[in-house]
Amino acid sequence: MTIGIKTNNGRQRTNINGAINLQTKTVLYVEDEQINAQTMTVLLVLILQEQKEGKIHIILDNARHYHAQLVKDFLKEHPRIMLHFMPPYSLNLNIIERLWKILKKKVVYYKFYLRAC
């Protein structure tokens, strides 16, 4: 009997844009082929649906798609949302980066699936 070990065949990228509610520990995310202004507005809609009232403060890095005109137009229509941008090169301040690190460590890496051939 031969046992095959399934491994990744090349680099397949998963693009996830997410947010954590620090009060409730709720995680919202959008997964797509690429992260851009459209996926950011989808994430903002999810955040609005989750947080029905009050101001929403979102802390972000300085990725280009967060500054896109589409996002700015969306924010004009939804003044409850306020974006706050972190200084450049400060990943250690971004809470969502800690979640991605745990996700990679616990889920993505070191997983091999066996199947009978």
- Domains of the chain, residue spans: 11-116
Q: Calculate the dihedral angle through the C-alpha atoms of 72, 73, 78, 80, rounding to the nearest 10 degrees.
A: 20
CA-nearest of 108, 101, 105, 103 to 7 is 108
Topology of 11-116 in CATH?
Answer: Nucleotidyltransferase; domain 5 (3.30.420)
Higher pLDDT, 77 or 17: 77
pLDDT band at 102 (very low <50, low <70, confident <90, very high): confident
Confidence at residue 55, expressed as pLDDT on a 0 to 100 scale:
95
pLDDT at 12: 65
pLDDT confidence tier of residue 41, bands split at 50, 70 and 90: very high
pLDDT digits (tens, 9 = 90+) for 54-99: 999 998 888 899 999 999 999 999 999 999 998 877 767 777 777 7
Q: Alpha helix (H) ranges present in 1-117?
A: 37-50, 69-77, 95-103
* End-to-end CA, the chain: 8
Best CA proximity match to 39, nearest among 47, 84, 99, 111: 47
State residue 17's pLDDT score: 87
| Confidence band, pLDDT 50/70/90 cuts, at residue 15 | confident
How far is Cα 61 from Cα 27, in angstroms, rounded to an integer?
17
Residue 86: the pLDDT is 86
